[in-house]
Amino acid sequence: MSDENYTENIVDYVTYGIDENIDAEDTIEVSLRDLVFVSQTLQEFIQFFHNIDHYPTLEEVNKYLGTKNSNGAYDLFSKANYEVMPRMLPDKVRKLYENGAFDNPEKPFYFAP
């Protein structure tokens, strides 16, 4: 039996550690181009998933996401996460990530066996 705990509360899962580690008054300066790219990526995600008619089958979700280098949504999310966001995050935040400050002890439900 696994000692893992799983959650369906994705908001709490994603925001874990932010309030404790990031002051609400802290600001940074970022490239407008990078910020708009991340914004457009998030808007695309919402545009697809806000309407269940866009993905009546799992096949449609797979088609939308695509695979690496297929020009699907997966490529957008990967670029935003691995190329654009690291340029925007200060060293302080990178160190917090490295030290596990945002590692929620619960796992999202989709990791459950």
Whether the CB-CB separation of 7 and 106 falls below 8 Å is answered with yes
- Mean pLDDT split into 10-residue runs, the chain, 113 residues: 83 97 96 97 96 95 95 96 96 96 97 94
Q: Which residues contact 8 (CB under 8 A, 6 or more apart)?
A: 108, 109
DSSP 27-89: -----HHHHHHHHHHHHHHHHHHT-GGG-SSHHHHHHHH--TTTTSHHHHHHHIIIIIHHHHS
pLDDT given at position 4: 85
At 1 the pLDDT is 42
Nearest Cα to 96, choosing from 16, 38, 37, 25?
16
